[in-house]
Amino acid sequence: MAKKAGTLDIEKLMAELNPEKTAKENSGEAASTAPVQKKSGFVTLIGRPNVGKSTLMNHLIGQKIAITSEKPQTTRNRIQTVYTDDRGQIIFLDTPGIHKAKNKLGEYMVSVAEHTLKEVDVILWLVEPGTYIGAGEQHILKVLNKVKTPVILVINKIDTVKKDEIIKTMDTYKDVYRFKEIIPVSAMRKTNTDTLIRTLFQYLPEGPQYYDEDTVTDQPMRQIAAELIREKALRLMSDEIPHGIAVVIERMEERNNGIFDIEATIVCERESHKGIVIGKGGSMLKKIGTAARIEIENLMDAKVNLQLWVKVRREWRDSELYMKNYGYNPRDI
């Protein structure tokens, strides 16, 4: 099938930029009659907040586990998901974005992200196209220079720019760090994600699978449900409130008829925020609940009866006790 005019040929672009590597892959060295050993390993996704880490991970495993939002610092905990095929198994760790912390919750999020770098086999650093390396990227470079883990640079959102800008971005970043690979992708459009998976397997150690082939995440359903509720709040409410909210699942039980009853509390930091979360006549809370229930039902493949409440806990993001109660425990790092 002929390519449409103007369509970016990623494989051709990468061949132009990495001629030696491409020649080696196409040579007889790549072919072997030896039995293929399965590989298994851990890969972490890092980057500034909102560069598309959770979106990429969700698309790679083919299922939504990590929540996504246009607002930065959406991911708070380390989320572990599993990709399995006949080549082996990749365990992805989606971490909070590395950023300058403004409170104890922020410090926790950064600690989770930076600690993970020392535990994995490969680091995927996601960036957006552009030749300006800002303060956020400079900070990540300093962090990467402290670890010995192989780093693959992933330039995401290439569907939003022209080929020349992708090439300029690759040229800019290859001068600031010795990346094992530089791979342009579009997580949203799944462009070049097959190449990314194939490349990751090249850097993983041989070994047995850590999980059975049907496993897609190690996250308990209660945590996934809480995160989906928080995602809907992030998307439906103003910029000021969502960073100050947490969601706690108070009860999750299955009836004899297969329906799940879920009771959850949305925690905010101010009385004024509580009114906004609830909305006029409960309208906002209903919107959040309806949107979250639909996604939870799709994920669980079951009917769900979801009830939401709202509580105020002042300055909870600076309280280690409240953070622990809401699932953000620094001792777990």
Question: For every one of its 333 residues, what pLDDT tens digit does the chain have, with 9 covering 90 and above?
Answer: 444 444 456 666 666 655 555 545 554 444 445 566 899 999 988 887 778 887 888 888 876 555 444 444 444 445 678 899 999 999 998 765 554 545 555 565 666 666 778 889 999 999 999 999 998 899 889 889 988 999 999 999 999 999 999 999 999 999 999 999 999 999 889 899 999 999 999 999 999 998 888 888 777 788 889 988 988 888 888 665 656 788 889 999 999 999 999 999 998 888 888 998 999 999 999 999 999 999 899 888 899 999 999 998 887 777 665 565 555 554 544
What is residue 72's predicted lDDT score, i.e. its pLDDT?
41
What is residue 128's predicted lDDT score, i.e. its pLDDT?
94
Q: Are 233 and 266 in contact (CB under 8 A)?
A: yes
- Asked, for residue 320, whether it belongs to a domain, the answer is yes
Q: How far is CA 181 from CA 25, 31, 78, 200, in A?
A: 14, 21, 24, 10
Are residues 283 and 166 part of one domain? no
Domain end marker among 176, 203, 230: 203
- Asked, for residue 2, whether it belongs to a domain, the answer is no
Tell me phi and psi for residue 180, to 5 degrees. Answer: -70, -40
Are residues 194 and 60 part of one domain? yes
CATH of the domain at 136: 3.40.50.300
Q: Which secondary structure element, helix H or strand E, spans residue 19, and what is its range?
A: helix 19-26
Are residues 233 and 192 part of one domain? no
Are residues 59 and 188 part of one domain? yes
Domain end marker among 203, 238, 273: 203
What is residue 327's predicted lDDT score, i.e. its pLDDT?
59
Are residues 193 and 250 part of one domain? no
Question: What CA–CA distance (Å, rounded) separates 181 from 17?
Answer: 11
Are residues 228 and 197 part of one domain? no
Are residues 198 and 232 part of one domain? no
- Asked, for residue 47, whether it belongs to a domain, the answer is yes
Q: Could you please report the per-residue DSSP string of 141-201?
A: HHHHTT--S-EEEEE--GGGS-HHHHHHHHHHHHTTS--SEEEE-BTTTTBTHHHHHHHHH
Domain that holds residue 328: 221-332
What is residue 333's predicted lDDT score, i.e. its pLDDT?
43
What is residue 284's predicted lDDT score, i.e. its pLDDT?
94
- Asked, for residue 67, whether it belongs to a domain, the answer is yes
Q: Are 125 and 153 in contact (CB under 8 A)?
A: yes
Are residues 259 and 187 part of one domain? no
Number of domains in the chain: 2
Nearest to 78 by CA among 66, 68, 90: 66
Are residues 279 and 196 part of one domain? no
What is residue 269's predicted lDDT score, i.e. its pLDDT?
84
DSSP state at residue 265? E
Q: Are 205 and 90 in contact (CB under 8 A)?
A: no
Largest CA distance in the chain: 70
- Asked, for residue 213, whether it belongs to a domain, the answer is no
Are residues 187 and 244 part of one domain? no
Are residues 199 and 59 part of one domain? yes
CATH of the domain at 252: 3.30.300.20
- Asked, for residue 214, whether it belongs to a domain, the answer is no
- Asked, for residue 286, whether it belongs to a domain, the answer is yes
Residues in the chain: 333
Are residues 170 and 51 part of one domain? yes
- Asked, for residue 260, whether it belongs to a domain, the answer is yes
